[in-house]
Structure formats: structure tokens, C-alpha cells
Amino acid sequence: FIAWYLPFYAIGYFGRKYQNLWEKQGHKVALCLFVLFLFMAYWWMRKDAPLFLPQNSHVIYNYVYKFAVAIVAIAALVPLFRYYIDDKMLMITKLGGVTLGIYAIHQTILAILQPCFDIEFLQSHYGVYMFILSITVLAISYLCYMLINSNRYLSLLFLGK
């Protein structure tokens, strides 16, 4: 996971450091990138190859596509949030400050929760399932992060703080 998340951590770090460059691009460019993201996200699959590639395609192509979708999403959503969303949205601000901790925890929470869902429900209501699962995993991961972060030793052991 370190190899996969390190580029996003670096993007967040340098994105914050050079925030004025993001803001100069304006929200119109970000809107175009958001449309591109929606188009790209349609074919994105979490574990499998994108829907337009054969399932036996080389794993490098899969990762390149996933990385490209993530980069376009970051390039679109950061400026859009800064332009359209009020800075006083406390929950988004709090989540943005602890995303690395959430990333470290969410795979475990996801693995625990997935077997709890009914397969027939998943097949007929996939969008609802993804929404519920995403919100649930995010909330539980955030709460776990807060609990781990409140203990000095656990925070050092699990979060590197």
C-alpha cells in the first residue's frame, strides 16, 4: 500500500505547498477536468481491469488507468471544492487533514464489512450498496483514526506519529 499511496501523499503535500498554482487555473478548467473524471470513472473498477480493457490485460495498464483517474479527480475536485464549497465545512476540513490515517485503516474496515452485505442486494442495488459502504467505511475509519490518535503509543505504532 505504501507504493500505491505515496504518490497521492506527495500530490497532497506539494498541492498544498503550491496551492496558489491550483487557484490560478480557475474553476472552469476544473469543471472540464471534472467532466473528464466522470467519463473516466465510468470504466474504473476497484480490483479488476477497467471495463474497456480485457480482463487479462497487463496489470501495469490497470494501475496506469487507476492512477490517471485519481490524478484527474484530484486536479478537478480540489479547485472545485475551494471555489464552490465554503471553507467552514468542518467535516470536509477534518477529513482532509487525516486522510493518510483513514487510508491506513480503511482496507481493514472494508474487509470486515463486505461479508456483512447480502449478495442478492448487491447485484440488484449496486449503486446504493457502494454509497452505503463508502459512507460507512469512511465513518468507521475516521472514528478508528480518532481513537488510535488519542493514545500516544497506538498513534506512534499505527500512524507513525
Single pTM value for the model: 0.54
Instruction: Say if CB 137 and CB 106 are below 8 A apart.
Output: yes
Residue 19 grid cell: 496551492
**Which residues 6+ apart lie within 8 Å of 138 measured at CB?**
95, 102, 106
For the stretch 16-22, contacts whose Cβ atoms lie closer than 8 Å and that sit 24 or more positions apart, written own/partner, are 22/78, 22/79, 22/82
Nearest to 23 by CA among 88, 73, 79: 79
Report residue 152 CA to chain centroid gap. Answer: 27
Cell readout for 7 is: 504518490
Q: To which residue does cell 496506469 refer? A: 64
| Mean pLDDT, residues 26-42 taken together | 84
38-78 pLDDT, tens digit per residue, is 888 887 776 666 777 777 776 677 778 888 888 888 888 87
The percentage of the chain sitting over the pLDDT mark of 90, rounded to a whole number, equals 3
> Do 101 and 145 form a contact (C-beta atoms < 8 A)?
yes
Distance CA 150, CA 100 (A): 16
